[in-house]
Amino acid sequence: MLKVLLAIFLFTENYLPEDTTSVQKEVSSFSTLTQKQTLTINSDYTYTLVDERKLFITSPSGLKHATTILGYDQLNEVNSFELEIKDGLTGKSLKRARLKDMGDAPYISSFSVFEDFRYKFYEVTAVKYPIEVTVRSEVSSKTNFFLPVWLPTPHSNQKVTQSSFAVNYPTELGLKYKEINLSSEKSETVANGMTTLTWSGKNLAAYAIRPDSKLVLAPVKFKLDQYQGEMTDWSELAAWQYELNKGRDVLPEDFKAKVLAMVEGVEEPYEKVKILYSYLQKNFRYVSIQLGIGGWQTMTAADVVNNAYGDCKALTNLMKAMLETVGIASNYTLVRAGSDAKEIELDFPAPQFNHVILQVPTDGNPIWLECTSNVLPAGFLGEFTRDRHVLVTKEGGGFLTKTPAYNTEGWNLIQSQSKVSIDLQGNATITSNQQLYGNFSESMLWVKNKLDERGQRDFLNRTSAISGLIVRNYTIEILKLDSLPKSEITYEGVVQKFTQATAKRVVLKSFLGKLTPDHLANKSLKLVDQYEIELPEAWQPDGNFPEVNLKEDNLSGILTVSLEGKMLKVRREISIHLPEKLEKEQETELLRKINTAFDRTILLSKSTLSSTLSPSL
């Protein structure tokens, strides 16, 4: 469910795999690079980037290092491209290529219906090695809102002989930069109202995973289309974003009347938000159309009303306008979305975002709305946007704040109550009721809304801790306890081979389910499972029932098993609160400890033994 603006990000950020660890082993290189990039920002806020590079490629694996990809759209142009391939030993020219020789393709995202972003590309081929590839390309942009990123080492398994990046800009416009893991030398000159900053690095070693070393830039004064702004601090950037959308939230009068009618007689602000958010979810769908400045500027609310679809900007803007109509102020908020998205650079105010959500201030905690979701409760953010810094935009300014982390027990609770009746063959019937709260309910939203009945039944069968479950009848209810999502699953079914017959006994292996990293993803877990298992008359306990009592700093767990008549009662309760930082090894060890502790088998004796057993003991 990736949303919006990725195309723009592709211009500014090279999304090759990055190594974020500090120590790496040097490896052999497939190519050696000498590169010089010159970025010239003009006083009319346009820029030109000239990239001159020479690669010495020693093996086929290095060919992709010479691939050139130059994006373009309504705001960006490819001006020139020249390439020459020479025999690396003799220097003989083997091939030349120009702009007309480049391939051309659209950038096709999985989420956009239409976008104007395309790219030109050239892939180098060779019949023998080594080869020397010289490339000169020039691209220009009508805006300095997004500036290129410099990667001293663009690829893994690439040595760099020399790499430099120079940026010339009108001193009056200003420029900000952030060096991330950069060891390059920087120089600065100022002359005739232009400042030149140059970074250069030499003899950089090759690594198996490209080091996370880069220079990121952002303008102080900028212009996108006719919208001028400054991004000295986050507030200025937020103010500019507000101005960019200003006037685009006007609703048609009849729609306004409809909105007012929906909340007539409702006093409580959250109730109003809930009603309007539900209306948005039910009647508008997410459709991404990205054209030019439309990557940052919303469609008008009237167009969204007319089409009943829009992208994240459009749906958020519409929701904001609807709330405004009923007297509730809200703030259009920029976020870097993605379940595994990196945190933004907090000390570097710049357009680091790819999605928009809505913040509704209240006297207490704000209400957060993910306006592209048709299923989340009002006030709950999914893993796509929760627990991260976001930029709240307001007229005249704005501020960074953090979305909720939902890392307390109430947001991470799983409960289940099951009744099982076993027959003499070890097969069973089962009725079960499970309640998932908060984060754990989020995955059930997908099951409920995206799968058909066959798929839902299969999901229950496949993911059940009980092997051999065949669900007959079931219900999946999604409830919204204000902003807390709750999923309630009930089913009845049969379980093939719930117990296993051995030579002497009936074995009831652990059926409580193992914990996985998913259970710990939100640093908090409360898990309570209860079973009432009706045994056949002829079965009796063999030995003591297992019992578990774990008590540690971050963990408590109890397993109790008791027999009342022919009813076996099993209860497992686990409570976990993890520190913010937990290494992968520590997490694995914790899971292993918990699963080992609760992996208990219940042994039962039968009154008659099977006559088919062969070996005697």
Partner 1 sequence: MNKLFAFFLAMLLPVVLFAQTPKMGEFTQNEIDLKEISYEPGASAVFLVASGESRFFSNILETNYFYRIKILTEAGKEYADIPIGYFAGSTNVEVVSAIKAQITTYTNGVPEVTTLGKESIFQVDLGNGYKEFRISFPNAQVGSILEFSFKKADKNIEFLDGWSFQRSVPVLFSNYQITMIPQLEYKMIGQGENFYHRSEKSEGNGVYSWTLRDLYSLKGEPYMKNYQDYVDKVEFQLSRYQTAATTSGPEWTDHLNTWEKLGDELIEYYSVRGFYRTNPLEREVLSLDLSKGSQKDKAEIAYYYIRDNFINEGEDLIYTKQTLPQLLKSKKGAPGELMLAYMGILKSQGIECNPVLIGSKGHGRSDIVPFPFLNQFDEILLLVKLDGNLQFLDLSDPLAPFGYVDLDKHVKGGLFLEKNASKLIPIDIRHNSNKLVFSNIKLDTETGDLVIENTIRNYFYEGLASAHLVEILEKNDKPLEELFSEKYDALEIRNVKVDDLLEDKNMYNISFESVLKNAMSEDLIIFNPLQISKFATNPFTQEFRVFPVDFEYAFNETYTANLVIPEGYELDDYPTNESITIPGSPIGFSYSTENLGEIFKITARLEVKNPLIPSSSYGDLKFFMESVSSKLTAPVILKRISIP
We find the least distance from the C-beta atom of residue 150 to partner 1, in angstroms, to be 28
- Interface residue with partner 1, options 44, 185, 547, 599 (CB under 8 A): 599
Write each residue from 437 to 466 as x if it is in contact with partner 1 (CB under 8 A), else as -, in one continuous string: ------------xxxxxxxxxx--xx----
Interface segment toward partner 1; rule CB under 8 A; list 238-246, 330-338, 400-408, 594-602:
594-602
Helices 312-325 and 253-262 sit at what angle, rounded to 10 degrees?
A: 70
Q: How many residues bind partner 1 (CB under 8 A)?
A: 66
- Interface residue with partner 1, options 67, 181, 306, 586 (CB under 8 A): 306
We find the least distance from the C-beta atom of residue 343 to partner 1, in angstroms, to be 26
In terms of CB distance, is 355 or 505 closer to partner 1? 505
375 touching partner 1, by CB under 8 A: yes
We find the least distance from the C-beta atom of residue 345 to partner 1, in angstroms, to be 29
Beta bridge partners of 540: 605
588 touching partner 1, by CB under 8 A: yes
We find the least distance from the C-beta atom of residue 496 to partner 1, in angstroms, to be 4
We find the least distance from the C-beta atom of residue 158 to partner 1, in angstroms, to be 18
We find the least distance from the C-beta atom of residue 115 to partner 1, in angstroms, to be 9
Q: Please check whether residue 561 is in contact with residue 545, taking contact to mean a CB–CB distance below 8 angstroms.
A: yes
In terms of CB distance, is 216 or 371 closer to partner 1? 371
Q: Please check whether residue 80 is in contact with residue 138, taking contact to mean a CB–CB distance below 8 angstroms.
A: yes
SS3 state of residue 310: strand
617 touching partner 1, by CB under 8 A: yes
Interactions with partner 1, residue window 516-535 (CB under 8 A): 516-517
Q: Give which of 252, 237, 270 is closest to 318, Cα–Cα.
A: 252
DSSP assignment of 128-183, as one string? SS-EEEEEEEEEEES-SSS---B-SS-STTEEEEEEEEEEEEETTT-EEEEEES--
CA separation for the pair 108, 114 (Å, rounded): 9
**In what helix (H) or strand (E) does residue 526 lie, and over which residues does it extend?**
strand 524-534
Q: Please check whether residue 336 is in contact with residue 354, taking contact to mean a CB–CB distance below 8 angstroms.
A: yes
Tokens coding 399: 């501020």
500 touching partner 1, by CB under 8 A: yes
Which residues are CB-neighbours of 160 under 8 A, at least 6 positions away? 32, 33, 34, 35, 152, 153, 201, 202, 203, 204
Write each residue from 400 to 439 as x if it is in contact with partner 1 (CB under 8 A), else as -, in one continuous string: ----------------------------------------
Interface segment toward partner 1; rule CB under 8 A; list 159-167, 245-253, 428-436, 605-613:
605-613
554 touching partner 1, by CB under 8 A: no
We find the least distance from the C-beta atom of residue 168 to partner 1, in angstroms, to be 35
Which residues are CB-neighbours of 221 under 8 A, at least 6 positions away? 45, 172, 173, 174, 228, 229, 230
CA distances to 34, 65, 129, 191 from 85, in Å: 15, 13, 11, 38
Helices 269-283 and 253-262 sit at what angle, rounded to 10 degrees?
A: 120
Beta bridge partners of 507: 500, 603
CA separation for the pair 47, 26 (Å, rounded): 36
Interactions with partner 1, residue window 98-157 (CB under 8 A): 103-106, 108, 113-114, 125, 127
616 touching partner 1, by CB under 8 A: yes
307 touching partner 1, by CB under 8 A: yes
- Interface residue with partner 1, options 400, 408, 591, 606 (CB under 8 A): 591
We find the least distance from the C-beta atom of residue 67 to partner 1, in angstroms, to be 15
Measured on CA atoms in the order 510, 516, 519, 520, is the torsion positive or negative?
A: positive
20 touching partner 1, by CB under 8 A: no
Question: If you ran DSSP here, which 8-state letter would residue 62 be given?
Answer: G
In terms of CB distance, is 257 or 465 closer to partner 1? 465
We find the least distance from the C-beta atom of residue 179 to partner 1, in angstroms, to be 29
We find the least distance from the C-beta atom of residue 74 to partner 1, in angstroms, to be 15
CA angle at 402 for the pair 484 and 275, rounded to the nearest 5°: 40
We find the least distance from the C-beta atom of residue 463 to partner 1, in angstroms, to be 9
- Interface residue with partner 1, options 221, 272, 505, 572 (CB under 8 A): 505
285 touching partner 1, by CB under 8 A: yes
Interface segment toward partner 1; rule CB under 8 A; list 32-40, 68-76, 97-105, 428-436:
97-105
Q: How many CA atoms lie within 13 A of 424 on its CB side?
A: 7
Which residues are CB-neighbours of 409 under 8 A, at least 6 positions away? 524, 525, 526, 575, 577
In terms of CB distance, is 185 or 547 closer to partner 1? 547
Interactions with partner 1, residue window 23-62 (CB under 8 A): 60
71 touching partner 1, by CB under 8 A: no
In terms of CB distance, is 121 or 399 closer to partner 1? 121
Interface segment toward partner 1; rule CB under 8 A; list 159-167, 431-439, 499-507, 524-532:
499-507
We find the least distance from the C-beta atom of residue 310 to partner 1, in angstroms, to be 10
In terms of CB distance, is 386 or 505 closer to partner 1? 505
Q: Please check whether residue 493 is in contact with residue 430, taking contact to mean a CB–CB distance below 8 angstroms.
A: yes
567 touching partner 1, by CB under 8 A: no
In terms of CB distance, is 405 or 555 closer to partner 1? 555
Tokens coding 528: 């309570």
Q: Please check whether residue 280 is in contact with residue 319, taking contact to mean a CB–CB distance below 8 angstroms.
A: yes
In terms of CB distance, is 257 or 503 closer to partner 1? 503
Q: Is 506 exposed, middle or buried (0-12, 13-18, 19+ CB in 10 A)?
A: buried
Beta bridge partners of 516: none
Q: Kindly list the residues in this chain that would bind partner 1 in the complex (CB under 8 A).
A: 60, 103-106, 108, 113-114, 125, 127, 208, 282-283, 285, 287, 289, 306-309, 374-375, 449-458, 461-462, 467-468, 496-497, 500-505, 507, 509, 514-517, 543, 588, 591-592, 595-596, 599, 601, 603, 610, 612-617
